[in-house]
Structure formats: structure tokens, C-alpha cells
Amino acid sequence: MKYKYILFDLDGTLTDPGVGITKAVQYALKKNNIVEESLSTLEKFIGPPLKESFAEFYSFNEKMVSDSIQYFREYFRKNGIFENEIYSGILDLLGELRNRDCKVVVATSKPTVFANTVLKNFGMMKYFDLVVGSNLDGTLGNKSEIINCVIDNLKIKNLEETIMIGDRKYDIIGAEKNNIDSIGVLYGYGSLEELVGARPTYIVDSISQLYGLLT
């Protein structure tokens, strides 16, 4: 295997957070007097930064975006963070990567404090050398910045040994901007069209394919 540094997105890649995130968005929208009954229509919020999503999908101004993020977190920290599940096969993959002495990292747009809570809740912290997410004040929210932070923290010299794995175009674009390879996974929330358009190094349909590619 050519990759020593393996960076994983969290939502839609390691775990399926669909229920928790969409319910938190639904709650935030209701606070803005917007009723959205269908959770499936809110799955587009899974992956990209909330700030971008509320502005893009509902044309919220800056204050409405800020307020909505706080409403989202109000629900998420109490309930949504636990409405989540690990994708089948992920723990086997992480264990094998650790056995091979890879440096395994979570690189997520989710606030680091929430990412740590999710990983601890599932007993997954032992698999990772580093967890890098965004800050609650909105800084370090771009996936490119997060990946760059990982590279700096681990003092990675050979970028050819580094790969980013994620289910959305933001993961792939962030990898490209940092001159590292990437894998787009189709079992998450990004479509084939979205991932192909972002031009990852590889695309896989399943965790078993991901396992085969990395090991």
C-alpha cells in the first residue's frame, strides 16, 4: 500500500449521521418559521459547512445564518449527535490500517468538539492519531484548511503518501487544493455525478471496495 497517512471525513464516510443532522436542520428551520416535513430533502446539509448550506438553500442573510447555526447546535448537542450509526465494516478497516502502522486521521467540517463526542460515543477514538474539525466560532470551516492543518500537525513531508477519503465534493476539492490523492465513496451522501465532477483519484461503491483499495 502506498499510503501512510489516511484522512477520513466523518459524516457519510465513517458514520451515517442522517437522522441527527436532518432533524437538527428541521429544528433550526422551524425556529425561522419554515416547516420542512421531509427529512430526506434536508440530506443536502450533510457534508458541507452549515454556513454555506443555510445561505445557499434558503437564502438566509448573515444574521439568519448565524442564528440558525445556533439553533442547529441546540438540538444537535442534546439529541442529534447520538442519532447516528457506524457504517458496517468501518471498524474492521480502521483496525487493519492501525495494524499496518498507518497514521489515521479524522478530517471533518463538523466542529471538533462534536466530532470527538461522536467518536467517543462509538468507542472509536483509539483508531485515530488525530481529529481535526472546525471551530465553534466558524473558523477552520473549509475542508481545504482542515486538510492543511492535518498536514502541518503531522509534519507530513511526502504528500504522495497521503490520501483523503470522503463522500462529498468538498472532500475531493480540499484534497486537490492540498496536492494529495482522494477517494470518493458512493455509500454516503454524495451522488456519482457530484463526485465525478470533483475528479477524485478513485471512486468506490462500498466499504469492501475501500478496504481492498487501502489494504
Q: What is the pLDDT of residues 180-212, one digit of tens each?
A: 999 999 999 999 999 999 999 999 999 999 999
Is residue 11 annotated as part of the catalytic site, yes or no? no
Paired residues of 5 in beta bridges:
103, 162
All three cell numbers of 156, joined, read 507530513
> What are 53-109's pLDDT values in tens digits?
999 999 999 999 999 999 999 999 999 999 999 999 999 999 999 999 999 999 999
Integer Cα distance of 168 and 49 in angstroms: 11
Looking at residue 199, what is its pLDDT?
Answer: 98
Residue 206 Rama label (left phi>0; alpha psi -120 to 50; beta)? beta
Beta strands 15-16 and 85-86: pairing type? antiparallel
Q: What DSSP letter does each residue of 57-125 carry, written as one string? A: HH---HHHHHHHHHHHHHHHHHTGGGS-EEPTTHHHHHHHHHHTT-EEEEEEEEEHHHHHHHHHHTT-G
Mean pLDDT of 118-129: 97
Cell of 174: 480540499
DSSP bridge pairs for 184: 166, 203
Q: What are the grid coordinates assigned to 53, written together?
A: 448550506
pLDDT score for 81: 94
For residue 1, pLDDT over 80 is answered with no
Rounded CA gap, 213 and 103, in Å?
A: 16
Q: What is the pLDDT of residue 145?
A: 97
The yes-or-no verdict on residue 114 having pLDDT over 80 is yes
Beta carbons of 154 and 131 less than 8 angstroms apart: no
Query: For residue range 22-49, what is the model confidence (pLDDT) as tens digits?
Result: 999 999 999 999 999 999 999 999 988 8
Q: What DSSP character marks residue 4?
A: S
Specify whether the CB–CB gap between 168 and 190 falls below 8 A: yes
**Which among 9, 16, 167, 181 is annotated as catalytic?**
9
170 pLDDT tier (thresholds 50, 70, 90): very high
Asked if the model's pLDDT at residue 141 lies above 90, the reply is no
Angle at 131 between CA 157 and CA 9, to 5 degrees: 90
Spatial distance between the Cα atoms of 43 and 99, rounded to a whole number of angstroms: 34
**Residue 213 and residue 207: Cα distance in Å, rounded?**
10
Looking at residue 47, its pLDDT comes to 87
pTM of the model: 0.93
Q: How confident is the model at residue 214 (pLDDT cuts 50, 70, 90)?
A: very high
